[in-house]
Amino acid sequence: MKEIILDTETTGLSVKDGHRIVEIGCIELDNLVPTQNKFHCYLNPERKVSEKALEVHGYTDEFLSTKKKFGEIAEDFLSFIKDKRLIIHNAEFDLSHLNNELKILGKTIINNEIVDTLTLARDKFPGSSISLDALCKKYRIDNTKRTLHTALVDCDLLAKVYINLIGQKEPTLNFQSQDNLIKNGEPANKVLYFKKVVSPTDEEIKNHSAYLKSSLKKNFF
């Protein structure tokens, strides 16, 4: 399955205050493995960046003034994410800004399947800090490059966090024949990620029970 790790940076928090997107970053995953397909752009928001947002991402009005406007990249962006599940940390924020930009252009809002890693983390670590930095620390993911919030760096970190959150860390080689892989349009050396579950056989359970009965002084059977 192909998924898109997505992140945005903006001029401020709320679209209700007229804030706009200044950066979009996307990394494609294929069966949880990052591909070479990425989408990235800086955008001219046609308004000033708030002081608080500037502290977060560091993009100045002067830097952004020469970049494309959202309308100039909208079709390329929509084509990149088409029919793919979107993986977003705090999806409500990013989607509100993306849909606002689309509404300004008179376009249909995003209706992709969404996985919000903030929700996944909240369920997995109730009461704990679940910021991207906090999750990187929990999973021992190197985030030293994240001196500021930038979309592609955040996407790269989020991809690693996402794989950990869903419990699919163990890589395993796909041992299908090369002919089958080529027939299915997949690279022959693809690494797939899945949760490894090994269940004992009935014979192993029987032998284990017999061992416990004969070895333990106190019999619980």
Secondary structure, 3-state, the chain: CEEEEEEEEECCCCHHHCCCEEEEEEEEEECCEEEEEEEEEEECCCCCCCHHHHHHHCCCHHHHCCCECHHHHHHHHHHHHCCCEEEECCHHHHHHHHHHHHHHCCCCCCCCCEEEHHHHHHHHCCCCCCCHHHHHHHCCCCCCCCCCCCHHHHHHHHHHHHHHHCCCCCEEECCCCHHHHHHCCCCCCCEEECCCCCCCCHHHHHHHHHHHHHHCCCCCC
The answer to the question of residue 220 being in a domain is no
The answer to the question of residue 54 being in a domain is yes
Q: pLDDT tens-digit profile of 101-154?
A: 999 999 999 999 999 999 999 999 999 999 999 999 999 999 998 878 899 999
Q: What's the pLDDT at 147? A: 79
The answer to the question of residue 172 being in a domain is no
53 plus 129 within the same structural domain: yes
Count up the domains in the chain and report the number. Answer: 2
CA 14 to each of CA 11, 17, 20: distance values in angstroms, whole numbers, following the listed order: 9, 6, 9
Concerning whether 97 is annotated as a catalytic residue, the answer is no
Residues 89, 97, 149, 208: which is the catalytic one? 149
Q: What is the pTM of this model?
A: 0.75
161 plus 206 within the same structural domain: no
100 plus 196 within the same structural domain: no
Q: pLDDT tens-digit profile of 38-59?
A: 999 999 999 999 999 999 999 9
* 22, two tokens: 């200044």
154 plus 71 within the same structural domain: yes
Please determine, for residue 184, whether its predicted confidence score (pLDDT) is greater than 60: no
Domain range for 109: 2-166
Cα 146 from Cα 154, distance rounded (Å): 7
136 plus 66 within the same structural domain: yes
The answer to the question of residue 8 being in a domain is yes
